[in-house]
Amino acid sequence: MTAPRQKVLCIDDEESPRESLRQILKDRYDVMIAVNGQNGLEMLRTQGPFDAVLLDVKMPDLTGLEVLERIKKSAPALPVIMVTAITDPKTVVRAIKLGAADYIPKPFDVHDIRFVVERVIRERTAPAAVPAPHDILGFSLAIQRVFDLIRRLCDAETTALIYGETGTGKELVARALHFGSIRKSGPFVAVHCAAIPSELLESELFGHEKGAFTGALARRIGMFEAAHDGTLFLDEIGEMPIGTQSKLLRAIQEREIRRVGSQETIRVNCRLVCATNRDLEAGVKKGTFREDLFYRINVVPIRLPALRERREDIPTLVSHFIQRFAKELHRPAPQFTPSAMSRLRSYSWPGNVRELEHMIERLMVTCDATMLDVEQLPFLIAEGDAAMLGDEPSSVALDFQPNGLDLPRMTEKFERQAIEEALRRSGGIISDAAKLLHVTRRVLSYKMKQLGIAGGDTD
């Protein structure tokens, strides 16, 4: 029996990119189209479930960021890929912080689209691998402090709360605490609190009896029981509903649980490790997180630094990911030029180590070069670092004439410098230079002819 095809929803108010996405993906997926944000949200509600969403940033009714926010509230585990011209790097950063799985620049690259869609769906559906503790890499002082805490906590039963932005490796730390402890022969059970609907989270944690609610057709063992004699990792605990928090507190204090629909108490023996990317103290003040639970789980806080706070570790991480993917893809391991590595170190990495890992994987799948230079890097990393860091572009010298400023001459001079620099960075590929300048290839060719700028390809 043939397995059903995975479903992808494309939300874009322009017909041309919608149809392009459909044509690119239709041979692998069932592709459905939404003509605006409201239409997309309605289709998610009535025609799902979907395996991935491709979402345009600029739309007239609801912006892509507004739609992304709503999707993440109703279906946190659904991967959303933003489609953007990347005219403003801050928009991409905000999208990633809101939970976007990745971004694809316009105009489309066929291989990029297929690769990104396949990866985010694979990550959603594939069971998580069990990484060894040494997968946490780095020599910076910031990460060495984390290593020291892990070593101190491994043989303790103390509850730990891991703080860190998305993509910093919170689950890796939790696994290191488990596999370095006396409980390492027991189970490690991870629960992503944000990925489970609030009405089902209690059953997921504590289990339920047959007939406890509609759809409870058989007894279910909860995650507390599944983690007996091992470690229970509650990821994104800040997303847990306030009602479930009170039952969690009782389970922690009494070391016993009750399945939903049962009066029987069950003793449980598991170590609890929690993680969050939220400010739980602020949640306590707002009333969205119980104060007594906060103090119960915040016994030993472990703060994971963002990748931008330990840039000296980037070459080590890059080397690790290159070697890993080279082995998986059965290809020679490439190297980055000093210029490209400099760009990697200066970029702010809003998606942290996970974003770096995905970037390396994408390059090694789509690029055969043995030496990777700046032009092979994704646009936002290669060209967006100045915008991310707040640097201003160098100004063009003003031509003061006796009768005032010569605006036409200044404009021509600036355009010439910008075009020549874009051609230099793109290696003379006009279409790539046009992307750097945020204009179409046709406009750039016209400007080059108008200014008498020679060179460039004829693609």
pLDDT digits (tens, 9 = 90+) for 226-251: 888 899 999 999 999 999 999 999 99
Specify the higher pLDDT residue, 132 or 215.
215
Domain ranges of the chain: 7-125, 133-305, 309-388, 400-451
CATH architecture of 7-125: 3-Layer(aba) Sandwich (3.40)
CATH 1.10.10 matches 400-451: yes
Q: For the domain covering 133-305, report its CATH number.
A: 3.40.50.300
How many angstroms separate the CA atoms of 178 and 186, rounded? 9
Percent of the chain with pLDDT over 70: 88
pLDDT at 306: 93
Instruction: Give the pLDDT band (50/70/90) at residue 135.
Output: low
User: What is the pTM assigned to this prediction?
Assistant: 0.61
Give, in words, the CATH class of 309-388. mainly alpha
Mean pLDDT of 263-291: 93
Q: Give the strands of the sheet with 231-235, arranged side by side.
A: 188-192, 231-235, 271-276, 160-163, 300-303
pLDDT at 86: 59
* DSSP assignment of 224-264: HHHTTTSEEEEETGGGS-HHHHHHHHHHHHHSEEE-BT---
pLDDT at 405: 58
pLDDT at 420: 81
Lookup: tokens for 400: 């003061």
pLDDT digits (tens, 9 = 90+) for 193-234: 988 887 788 888 998 888 888 777 887 888 998 888 899 999
Instruction: Give the pLDDT band (50/70/90) at residue 432.
Output: confident
Percent of the chain with pLDDT over 90: 37
* DSSP assignment of 265-299: EEE---EEEEEESS-HHHHHHHTSS-HHHHHHH-S
The amino acid occupying position 356 is L
pLDDT at 99: 82
pLDDT at 224: 92
Domain pair 7-125 / 133-305, same fold: yes
How many angstroms separate the CA atoms of 446 and 67, rounded? 37
pLDDT digits (tens, 9 = 90+) for 43-92: 998 887 899 999 999 898 889 999 999 998 888 888 999 887 755 567 77
pLDDT at 427: 67
Mean pLDDT of the chain: 83
